Amino acid sequence: MMEPGAPVCNTCGEAVGLKPNGELFVACHDCNFPMCRSCVEYEAKEGRKVCLRCSSPYDEHLLDDDADQKPPGSSQPTMAAHLSDPQPKDVGIHARHVSTVSTIDSEMNDESGNPIWKNRVESWKDKKNNKKKKVAKNNKTEQAPAEIPHEQQMEDKQPGDALMQQPLSEIVPMSRNKLTPYRAVIIMRLVILGLFFHYRIMNPVDSAFGLWLTSVICEIWFAFSWVLDQFPKWSPINRVTYLDTLSARFERPGEPCELAPVDFFVSTVDPLKEPPLITANTVLSILALDYPVEKVSCYVSDDGAAMLSFESLAETSEFARKWVPFCKKYEIEPRAPEFYFSQKIDYLKDKVQPSFVKERRAMKRDYEEYKIRVNAMVARAQKTPEEGWTMQDGTPWPGNNTRDHPGMVQVFLGNTGARDMDGNELPRLIYVSREKRPGYQHHKKAGAENALVRVSAVLTNAPYILNLDCDHYVNNSKAVREAMCFLMDPQVGRDVCYVQFPQRFDGIDKSDRYANRNIVFFDVNMKGLDGIQGPVYVGTGCVFNRQALYGYGPPSMPTLTKSSSSSSCSCPSKKKAELDASELYKDAKREELNAAIFNLHEIDNYDEYERSMLMSQRSFEKTFGLSSVFIESTLMENGGVPESVNSSTLIKEAIHVISCSYEEKTEWGKEIGWIYGSVTEDILTGFKMHCRGWRSIYCMPPRPAFKGSAPINLSDRLHQVLRWALGSVEIFLSRHCPLWYGFGGGRLRWLQRLAYINTIVYPFTSLPLIAYCLIPAICLLTGKFIIPTLSNLASVLFLGLFMSIILTAVLELRWSGVSIEDLWRNEQFWVIGGVSAHLFAVFQGFLKMLAGIDTNFTVTTKAAEDAEFGELYMVKWTTVLIPPTTLLIVNIVGVVAGFSDALNKGYEAWGPLFGKVFFAFWVILHLYPFLKGLMGRQNRTPTIVVLWSVLLASVFSLVWVKINPFVNKVDSMEIAGTCISIDC
């Protein structure tokens, strides 16, 4: 199906190389088994002159340097020709109805009838022997260095050797002038917090004991949350990449390109909610990357099996034939046409070609025509025919029933497909819709991503995978090269499971009212994690090492010793000991699997051939499923498709691995691939990788790598936050909770664990936050306060605490480059999301995980505008809006009541009123963006929101007047006694 770069020797792992006449070296002309000249010479010296795969004898003139001509009677096909055989006409979309019965029986043997697993085990042994030979040769060379003349040593030091020593990336530590004061302020703030809590606990407010106790508990939780959030940012770092060095090392003139292939994953579900034009722009930006076309494959997962998505992708593949050469010819950025043509810049700048203006206008006209065709498809798809959709050839669309349909695979572009307008090859574009059947759990996005992992492994098997949401386009055409500067660096990329890029967004209002850009998280927190074990996986814009997705540990992972095992099991807690024991057992089993693949010396433990084959076959099938083609692809660390099957078999096997029953009784979603069990499968997947000992890298190129769209409407934004928070609660209630998971082996660093704990407990902050935002109103309504009369020491503590909070923020701004406006917006939305979405996520999570009740909060539109950012001013009713609206009304009522009471009591009441009003204004100021969103542009609030909020506030006030638990009963009795004596 594809040629993943230069063919790699199946014995030593080195490039196969070329013959003196420039042709690819082919050892066996019958089966094209990849072996380099050195390994063939070694085999010949050992007396083995037959092919390892098909047992055909090698040509007797194979190793003659003068044998530049083909042997008589031999067609001598090259490896490239073998891999790029055109596909049969009966594959592709016409194969979607093929039965999903496994084709293992026919694929257990290769084309010559030899077992695949026999070839793999023999290649392991031969590879080991060949490496021993190389090591012995190197040792011999080191023992006699004087035998090599000095002139020859100088000649051996080629410029390429010096180039190989140059780094592809570099860590730029933060300046000590910025980092040292930052750390000092963190320690100082921690000390002040200790003194502050000592004062608060030792000085209770007897007249309002309930209020005081509630406030102290809330403050302790806030301090705990601050520790979880702050200390993982202890050692932030920056990184720089050297793209010129990468190109010079792996793209040498006159030699085959050695850059690693990359498989792109784009996921979409409902084309009516996720417009096909947006998905098409993402696909076009991928196809037009500044990367070798033979190294790029784009897989589009249509999890809704919509004919609209299929037809729009077909139109996109046709438009790509014009768009891709235009982008590469003029090096335009970004390479998503919708966003390129919408830029308000001088497009003539730095464009000196006279033909550019003419071609740009023609391309814009072509794109407008393409948009009309796609929008016409969308308009037709608004109403589904009664008999269902029909394809152009008259056959019914297989996905008419979205919950019951077969798997579908269609290859649109590629080395055997259409070429661009200039006659050049285009990257592969593959449409995939996995099988859906009633009664099967499909696991939503995580299940779709795992299906793409398998189908891509069968068809192209690139060693690296980059996944994008359908609304995230490639904004920097060199983004993949940026990631390769880490992943292809032998010193850096060996233990890297993924490279995460920050998320950047288009279409957000200038003030970013609801903190949609999330700048503080991406520019502060993620930089801090990069200095520990790496950033968390955020669901999109991430380049994965495929081997890490398969559940393997990093190559340099230390093995578990008996001492570590015993120390882990001697825990005083019985439950923790059982957990550690199970973790150690799983680690031991996984190391056993790793050893069978990576640690070649372990092969000596298997004495007989049958035992070796049986162990490998059963272990891999239990883990990866019943597909020998897929299993063999997992053994190819450098990628590439299996050599033992043809193109027709690959398509059939691709359909087999996306069947809904394939994952049954396997480790998919449990230990390998995207992990199931949470709607935030991204956090869970990255956490499992870090627990295995991998590390990740944060890449922030000057030009943002990817850009997407974010919901700028208040209700939509809150529901997005609700979904993230619900996923965190699900992880907290699962076996993968960072509080107790992954302690066996000690591969997850403690600061990294604190960061993951913070990602799962932050929704629970909503409970103390709601209480803390109610306290100011209660204090104003009752005349009580949570803090006693301040002494000089207490005043110094409060002043020091506020100053340390301000200094921490200022120093973070200094080393991160974040603006103060972004910091303030983040602080505001922390309160808005905490008292609304996070609160509902906690209750929904407990109902779902403990009682099996799934609650949905519907969103209905109440107003709309067509102006720019009209969606920002759209008011949508949802239940999530009630708690923050109630808080606003209660605090405003409390401020009015407080001022009224002060006016009645005279000037003496104004002093105590200041602290209470300041506290209430703190709440109102943080909720101000919510208030603006609630009013809309016309300053009108949905009636139902006002009614519910006023009702809740009234009920709260009436209950308060009736009960009033914070009023000192002794004082009321004294007042009553005084009144009686006066009456007498």
Label residues 713-742 b or e (16+ Cβ within 10 Å = b). Answer: bbbbbbbbbbebbbbbbbbbbbebbbeebb
592 belongs to an annotated ligand binding site: no
Cα 110 vs. chain centroid, distance in angstroms? 37
Q: Are 300 and 430 in contact (CB under 8 A)?
A: yes
Cα distances (angstroms) measured from residue 102 to each of 106, 113, 615, 649, 657: 9, 18, 21, 11, 9
Annotated catalytic residues are 303, 682
Name the DSSP letter for residue 870: G
**Contact partners, residue 669, CB within 8 Å, separation at least 6:** 443, 446, 447, 450, 663, 675, 676, 677
Quote the CA–CA distance of 634 and 624 in Å, as a whole number: 9
Quote the CA–CA distance of 535 and 526 in Å, as a whole number: 5
Q: Are 475 and 706 in contact (CB under 8 A)?
A: yes
Q: Cα 115–121–125 angle (5° rounding)?
A: 140
By the 10 Å C-beta count (0-12 exposed, 13-18 middle, 19+ buried), 199 is classed as: middle
Q: Cα 243–245–248 angle (5° rounding)?
A: 110
SS (H, E, C) 638-696: CCCCCCCCCHHHHHHHHHHHCCCCCCCCCCECCCECCCCCCCCHHHHHHHHHHHCCCEE
Q: Are 263 and 464 in contact (CB under 8 A)?
A: yes
303 belongs to an annotated ligand binding site: yes
Q: Are 74 and 16 in contact (CB under 8 A)?
A: no
Length of the chain: 984
Beta bridge partners of 466: 264, 543
Task: Give the count of beta carbons closer than 10 Å to the beta carbon of residue 802.
Answer: 11
Cα distances (angstroms) measured from residue 380 to each of 26, 311, 374, 389, 971: 54, 12, 10, 11, 75
- The amino acid at residue 855 is T
Quote the CA–CA distance of 877 and 946 in Å, as a whole number: 11
In three-state secondary structure terms, 799 is: helix
Q: Are 615 and 597 in contact (CB under 8 A)?
A: no
267 belongs to an annotated ligand binding site: yes
127 belongs to an annotated ligand binding site: no
Quote the CA–CA distance of 606 and 118 in Å, as a whole number: 13
Quote the CA–CA distance of 545 and 696 in Å, as a whole number: 10
Helices assigned H by DSSP within 264-380: 276-287, 307-330, 337-341, 356-380
Name the DSSP letter for residue 622: H
Cα distances (angstroms) measured from residue 408 to each of 280, 310, 652, 676, 820: 19, 10, 10, 23, 50
Quote the CA–CA distance of 303 and 408 in Å, as a whole number: 11
**Contact partners, residue 122, CB within 8 Å, separation at least 6:** 52
Edge to edge, the sheet with strand 706-709 lists 473-474, 706-709, 504-506
Quote the CA–CA distance of 436 and 446 in Å, as a whole number: 14
Quote the CA–CA distance of 445 and 723 in Å, as a whole number: 13
Q: Are 468 and 266 in contact (CB under 8 A)?
A: yes
Quote the CA–CA distance of 661 and 596 in Å, as a whole number: 27
Long-range contacts of 865-871 (CB under 8 A, 24+ apart): 865/937, 869/509, 869/712, 871/711, 871/712, 871/713, 871/716
Indicate the annotated binding residues for Mn(2+): 445, 469
